[in-house]
């Protein structure tokens, strides 16, 4: 009987090596690479054959477009049918600051001759002076958007057919800002052109009612001449026409404008 062989150091080492090999083999995960044919390749867009060009292009007739078309834009054009405007009536608020909202709040408390409360702000446009609204900012009111008559002149005809424009400020004390003057000239010019308003129908409130509005420091004649000149290049005759108009004479007879 052979003596039982004792487990030697060599045996133990071999056993560890073999188990390690099994472990390594067991963890080995070969990367599966699919055959090339199974990888979808990007499909090139189909080549569309260009249509064959006609041998000769037909002669084109282009519409004639003027090189310098006259700008006739009205950025304030209402979405509803415009009223039959005949006048522009200019006002000041006689207050140092204000906005469409602040005037609206005040006018909501007013009542007409029949005792009915006003619908709100009586003007069609407000031009800010930087205190409550932007300096030179032009903001239309609901009366303009809905083409309603104004409540600003104190005279029926001018309320019904006059576009009421008010500038924030007290022009008995100080002149309008430069930005306000630029804005009012632009706005009145567009209104005059868009609604065919005569030169001498651009008036100050004081021209149609006994009031100091729009204030003696408001350069009404400058504005009127400026918007008249926007229409016609013949400045001197137009300027004379404005100064001779009954409305202007009415104002001039009441004292200097500035
Ligand atoms: Zn006024």
Structure confidence by residue, pLDDT tens digits, 101-133: 999 999 999 998 899 999 999 999 999 999 999
Q: Ligand 1: distance of its center to the CA of 153 in Å?
A: 6
> In this structure, is residue 14 part of a structural domain?
no
Q: What distances in angstroms separate CA 187 from CA 20, 203, 253, one per listed residue?
A: 94, 14, 27
- Structural domain contains residue 217: yes
Confidence band of 150 (pLDDT split at 50, 70, 90): very high
CA–centroid distance, residue 208 to ligand 1 (Å): 10
8 A C-beta contact, residue 219 and residue 90: no
Greater model confidence, 243 or 99: 99
The residue to which tokens 């979405």 are assigned: 79
- Give the pLDDT confidence score for residue 215 in this predicted structure: 98
* pLDDT for res 18: 45
Token pair of 123, please?
Answer: 């003007």
Any idea what DSSP says for residue 244? H
Q: Residue 243's pLDDT band (boundaries 50, 70, 90)?
A: very low
User: How many degrees, rounded to 5, is the angle at CA 138 between CA 137 and CA 142?
Assistant: 135
3 domain residue, yes or no: no
- 229 confidence band (pLDDT: 50, 70, 90): confident
Lowest mean pLDDT among 13-22, 58-67, 73-82, 173-182: 13-22
Task: Please indicate, yes or no, if residue 34 is contained in any of the structural domains.
Answer: no
Alpha-carbon span 256 to 231, nearest angstrom = 26
HSE-CB at 191 with a 13 A cutoff on CA atoms is: 30
Structural domain containing residue 236: 87-252
Q: What is the pLDDT of residue 211?
A: 97
Average pLDDT, the chain: 79
Residues 6+ apart with CB under 8 A from 98: 126, 131, 132, 133, 168
pLDDT band at residue 28 using 50, 70 and 90 as cut-offs: very low
Instruction: Compute, in angstroms, the gap from residue 177 CA to the centroid of ligand 1.
Output: 18
- The reported pLDDT for the residue numbered 20 is 43
Q: Which residue has the higher pLDDT, 6 or 26?
A: 6
Q: Which residue has the higher pLDDT, 230 or 81?
A: 81
The alpha carbon of residue 94 and the mean position of all alpha carbons in its chain are separated, in whole angstroms, by: 27
Contact 128, 136 (CB under 8 A): yes
- The pLDDT of residue 154 is 95
Q: 239 C-alpha vs ligand 1 centroid, how far in Å?
A: 24
Q: Is residue 31 part of a domain?
A: no
Task: Quote the pTM value.
Answer: 0.65
Average pLDDT over residues 169-173: 98
- Asked if residue 43 is part of any domain, the answer here is no
The alpha carbon of 217 and the centre of ligand 1 are apart by a number of angstroms equal to 14
3-class DSSP state of 114: coil
Range 184-196 average pLDDT: 97
Helix (H) or strand (E) holding 132: none
Q: Is the pLDDT of residue 37 over 60?
A: no
Asked if residue 239 belongs to a domain, the reply is: yes
Quote the distance between the C-alpha of residue 100 and its chain's center: 16
Q: Count of domains in the chain?
A: 1
Percentage, residues of the chain above pLDDT 90: 59
Q: Is residue 37 part of a domain?
A: no
Q: Which residues surround ligand 1, an ion (CB under 5 A)?
A: 91, 205, 213
pLDDT value, residue 160: 97
Task: Tell me the CATH number at 132.
Answer: 3.40.80.10
Say what the pLDDT of residue 60 is: 58
């Amino acid at each position: 009987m052979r003596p039982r062989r004792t487990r030697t150091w060599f045996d133990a080492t071999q056993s560890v090596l073999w188990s390690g090999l099994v472990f390594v083999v067991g963890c080995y995960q070969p990367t599966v690479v699919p055959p090339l044919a199974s990888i979808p390749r990007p499909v090139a867009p189909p080549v569309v054959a260009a249509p064959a060009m006609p041998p000769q292009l037909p002669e084109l007739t282009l519409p004639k477009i003027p090189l310098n078309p006259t700008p006739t834009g009205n950025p304030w054009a209402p979405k509803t049918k415009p009223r039959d405007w005949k006048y522009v009536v200019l006002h000041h608020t006689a207050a140092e600051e204000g906005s469409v909202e602040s005037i609206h709040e005040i006018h909501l408390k007013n009542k007409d001759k029949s005792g009915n409360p006003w619908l709100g702000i009586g003007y069609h446009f407000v031009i800010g002076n930087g205190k409550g609204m932007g300096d030179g900012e032009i903001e239309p009111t609901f009366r303009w958007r809905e083409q309603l008559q104004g409540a600003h002149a104190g005279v029926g005809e001018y309320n019904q057919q006059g576009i009421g424009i008010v500038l924030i400020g007290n022009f008995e004390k100080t002149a309008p800002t430069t930005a306000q003057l630029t804005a009012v000239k632009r706005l009145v010019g567009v209104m005059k052109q868009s609604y065919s308003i005569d030169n001498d129908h651009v008036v100050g409130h004081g021209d149609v009612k006994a009031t100091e509005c729009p204030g003696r420091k408001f350069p009404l004649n400058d504005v009127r001449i400026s918007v008249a000149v926007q229409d016609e290049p013949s400045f001197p005759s137009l300027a004379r026409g404005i100064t001779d108009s009954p409305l202007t004479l009415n104002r001039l007879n009441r004292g200097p404008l500035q």
